[in-house]
Structures are given as structure tokens and as C-alpha cells.
């Protein structure tokens, strides 16, 4: 199988484990139940129980928590290769909701599928635990971002993180990436107002660092943006397989 | 083995999986390399690589991220039964630091120990993935707390969460729990000033909800505190084994 034929999840986990033929086969079998979901309609509701997890193979999703006052807080976005609700399939009730941002393709995964896969190849369990650890590291970075970074650095850090995540699954380069997010999505995840987001993006563009326009993030000065954000990608841990 | 002889981690994972004798034995073997650490000295440094993970069996630890300006942001506290750096053992370099708050006891766990344990009992891999998912759900709650809750609700939510976590390992009840945290720890994790923490605690005490004094959190009105915090413990998912 060439890397372009592999699922995004396989490409991603390959950054952690040098997968054997057997492990590759088990992983591809997890993609059997393919489903499509339309943009803007929740796939999993907060508080829902007995739900499946999904492996996202095409498109973007946002995960969010509903507040008692009816507002929502976006926790993160999922891109191809990411699990949707891996946490939800293990916890009794989902602690958050998922909404596709565009029409998406995803494979449904039941708890029994995970148990079967882990029984066949325990290294895969470690690889999926790695992916979950990486997801947690991202939430921690967002926590630090909201707590400590100013608006420019917060935006720069977020756009760089997305770029690294997409590069891992072959959907981004140091030049940039396609991005369906609106300024409202950015405002929500970064804890800024939409007007503030607009101003920050204009400043970053005018300083020649990055442009976000017409669904495309273009890095004009990747190194300069890394410096502004104090971005250290070590927490994304994607520099080639650790387990041989 | 009676539940009082079990390690806190075993008690905690039992909330997710009805563990078999074999699984119990594998889990207890993970506790072989026992270590002691003194209060106030980092066990794992952010940026350190090739480090072990630890299972905390006695005492409290805080995990934090260092900022470029030298300040630190506490991400969470660990209590008995929690992993320290499970994420660090899987990611190449640790994305955060650990500091014991009091003298602690912990068992060292290497990546190879985890792989061996998962190979012997894949259900244990699912249980540890559950624990990691729960940790992530807590970070998400803290993110929402800093983004959306006012200071009273944030404090109330945090004290209730700690109470539920400690109850799971037999160290807390609805009456309260012993707690070695200082007002500086609370200020740091909640994103408040120490003066603000002091004022919030006084208000909660004067309203007859909770008292935090002399190393003890006492719930005077647990239900009232739950209402104030809009605390829904579902994300802690600890209502008895899900996997039989």
C-alpha cells in the first residue's frame, strides 16, 4: 500500500509506530462502516449515551461544550485522521457535541471494534493512546493560550498548530493549507470577539506573516510566525516513528 | 484481595472495567518499581525526553506548563490512582512538568511495561485509555471554566471535581476531604489572583456552602454547591463498571 492509498489515521499513527502489515490490516478494518454526514447537523450530542466513535476520513468537524445559558464553547476542531468521540465511546455519556463544518466522511467504530483490534495487536492500543495523549496536549495548549497568550500570539499559535496537524496527514505544507473555518469559529475557539479576530488577522497580514482569505491559510513568513507565537511543535510529537 | 488492599489505580479502573483476577495481577505488577519523591522538587521537567511515567499511590502532585516569560500555569493536580506523565512516556518529549506538593509515593512505569501489560490483557489498554479520556475531559472542563464561569462557580466546580475524584479512590465523601493545596495553587489553576481566591472562599463559607481551612475541604451544603457550580459529574464517568 502506498502512503497516498492509506487512510489519514494510518498516516497519522505511522508517526508514532512503524506499523506492521498485520497492524495496517487491523487499522484499515476499523474503517469498514463508512458514513457520510452533512454540514451543520450534530453527529453526537452532549449527554447522549451508547454512541459510537468515528474516524474522520474527509472534511472538518468542530467539538464543543454547551453551557447552561445556551451558548457554546468550541473545544477543538477535528481534521482527517482524527477520532471523533473516542472519549465518548469510553465514557458513559458524551461530555461534548460534534458538528461537521462541511460535509464529511467518517467510519463508525464501536467499543467492541476497539477491544477486538487491541486484542489482535496491543501496539495499536499504544498508538491510539498516543493519539489521545496528543489530543490532550492540544487542549492543554489551548488552556494555556486562553490563560496566557495575547490575541496575536494566540491566533498565530492556533494557525501553526492546524498547519502541523494537516501536514501530518498530507494536507498542508509550510506554504499553507485549505481551511473552511469562519471568523466566528476562530473567535469561539480563541475566546475573542469576531471583531477582534478580524483585527488580529489584518495585523498579521499587514506584518507579512500570514494571510487567511477565501478558505486558504497562506504562511508568508512561517519562521516569523513561529517566533511571534513561541510555537514549539514538540507537543504534537510528529517527527517520525518512535516505536520501531 | 479486599478493596482496601488494592492500589488506588486499581480502585479507579474498577469504575470502568470489572477486572478479572489476571487483569488485577497485571495491574498490580505495574506497581513493582516503587519510588519516593520529596515535596517541591520536579520529578519530570518539561522538554525532558525518554522519561518514565508514574502511577501515584500516595500524596498530591501538580502538573504545570512553563511559559517563555518564566511564569507557570498549573494544568491540573494529580491524586492517588492517577498517572503522572502517561502522555510524557508516549510523546517524545514531555510537554509539561510535575512537582510533588507533599512527599509522595509512586511506581515507575516504562513504555515497555505498558506494552507488555497491553499484550497480556487488551481490556486493560481500554481501561487506561478510559482514564486518559477522563483526564482530557477534566482539562476540557478547566478550559470551559476559565473561558466561561465566574470566579464563585469556577471555585465551586473545582472543589467538587476534586471531591469526586478523591471519593473514587476512597479518600473523600460528601462531607469533604483532606487537601494540601494552598491559595496560590488555587489561584494558579483557576486563573485568579490570590486575593481574589481568598475573597471567593470567604463568600462560599459565609453562604454556608463550603469551608476550606487547615488542610480540609468541608462541604456544608453539597447540593447547594452543585447548584451554584452547575456541576454535572457525568464527565468523570465513575458510576460503576461499564465493561463487565
User: pLDDT tens-digit profile of A153-200?
Assistant: 999 999 999 999 999 899 999 899 999 999 999 998 898 899 999 999
Interface check B73 vs A, CB under 8 A? yes
B82, pLDDT greater than 60:
yes
pLDDT at residue B218 in the model: 97
**Partner-chain contact B125 A123, CB within 8 Å:** no
Output the average pLDDT for chain A.
Answer: 86
Q: Which residue has the higher pLDDT, B87 or A233?
A: A233
> A196-230, pLDDT tens digit by residue?
999 999 999 999 999 999 999 999 999 999 999 98
Q: How many CB atoms lie under 10 A from the CB of residue A62?
A: 20
> Does residue B112 form part of some domain?
yes
- Cβ atoms of A95 and A88 within 8 Å: the answer is yes
Rg, chain B, Cα only: 18
- Is the domain of A116 the same as that of A232? no
> Does residue A1 form part of some domain?
no
B:22-41 residues touching chain A, CB 8 A cutoff: none
pLDDT at residue B3 in the model: 55
Percent of chain A whose predicted confidence (pLDDT) is above 70:
89
A2, pLDDT greater than 60:
no
B:175-194 residues touching chain A, CB 8 A cutoff: 191
Which of A141-150, B84-93, B225-234 is the most confident on average? B225-234
Interface check B65 vs A, CB under 8 A? yes
Within 8 A of A68 by CB-CB distance, chain B residues are: 230
CB-nearest partner of A118 from B47, B73, B118: B118
Whose cell is 463550603? That residue is: B210
pLDDT at residue A71 in the model: 77
Interface check B195 vs A, CB under 8 A? no
Q: How high is the ipTM of this complex?
A: 0.76
**Domain CATH for B231:** 1.10.10.10
- Tally of structural domains, chain A: 2
> Does residue A72 form part of some domain?
yes
A76, A109, A143, A229: which to substitute to probe chain B, counting the most B Cβ within 10 Å? A143
- Is the domain of A166 the same as that of A224? yes
> Does residue A151 form part of some domain?
yes
Mean pLDDT of B154-168: 94
Which of B19-23, B126-130, B166-170, B178-182 is the most confident on average? B178-182
**Partner-chain contact A144 B67, CB within 8 Å:** yes
Interface check A98 vs B, CB under 8 A? no
d(CA A56, CA A107): 7
pLDDT at residue A82 in the model: 94
Instruction: Identify the domain containing residue B158 by its residue range.
Output: 134-236
The confidence band for B143, taking pLDDT boundaries of 50, 70 and 90, is confident
- Cβ atoms of B236 and B165 within 8 Å: the answer is yes
> Does residue A244 form part of some domain?
no
Which residues on adjacent β-strands are paired with residue A218? A176, A211
- Is the domain of B89 the same as that of B142? no
Amino acid at each position: 500500500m502506498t502512503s497516498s492509498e492509506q487512510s489519514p489515521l494510518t498516516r497519522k499513527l505511522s508517526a508514532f509506530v512503524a506499523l506492521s502489515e498485520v497492524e495496517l490490516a487491523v487499522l484499515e478494518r476499523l474503517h469498514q462502516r463508512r458514513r457520510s454526514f452533512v454540514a451543520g447537523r450534530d453527529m453526537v450530542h452532549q449527554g447522549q449515551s451508547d454512541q459510537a466513535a468515528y474516524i474522520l476520513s474527509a472534511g472538518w468537524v468542530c467539538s464543543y461544550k454547551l453551557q447552561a445559558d445556551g451558548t457554546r464553547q468550541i473545544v477543538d476542531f477535528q481534521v482527517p485522521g482524527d477520532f471523533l468521540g473516542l472519549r465518548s465511546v469510553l465514557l458513559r455519556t458524551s461530555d461534548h457535541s460534534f458538528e461537521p463544518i462541511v460535509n464529511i466522511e467518517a467510519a463508525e467504530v464501536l467499543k467492541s471494534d476497539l477491544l477486538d483490534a487491541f486484542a489482535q495487536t496491543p501496539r495499536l492500543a499504544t498508538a491510539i493512546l498516543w493519539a489521545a495523549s496528543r489530543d490532550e496536549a492540544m487542549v492543554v495548549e489551548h488552556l494555556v493560550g486562553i490563560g496566557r497568550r495575547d490575541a496575536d500570539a494566540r491566533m498565530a499559535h492556533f494557525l501553526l498548530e492546524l498547519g502541523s496537524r494537516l501536514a501530518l496527514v498530507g494536507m498542508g505544507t509550510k506554504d499553507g493549507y485549505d481551511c473552511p473555518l469562519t471568523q466566528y469559529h476562530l473567535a469561539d475557539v480563541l475566546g475573542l470577539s469576531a471583531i477582534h479576530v478580524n483585527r488580529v488577522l489584518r495585523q498579521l497580514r499587514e506584518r507579512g506573516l500570514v494571510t487567511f482569505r477565501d478558505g486558504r491559510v497562506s504562511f508568508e513568513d512561517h519562521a516569523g510566525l513561529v517566533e511571534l507565537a513561541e510555537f514549539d511543535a514538540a507537543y504534537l510529537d510528529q517527527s517520525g516513528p518512535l516505536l520501531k
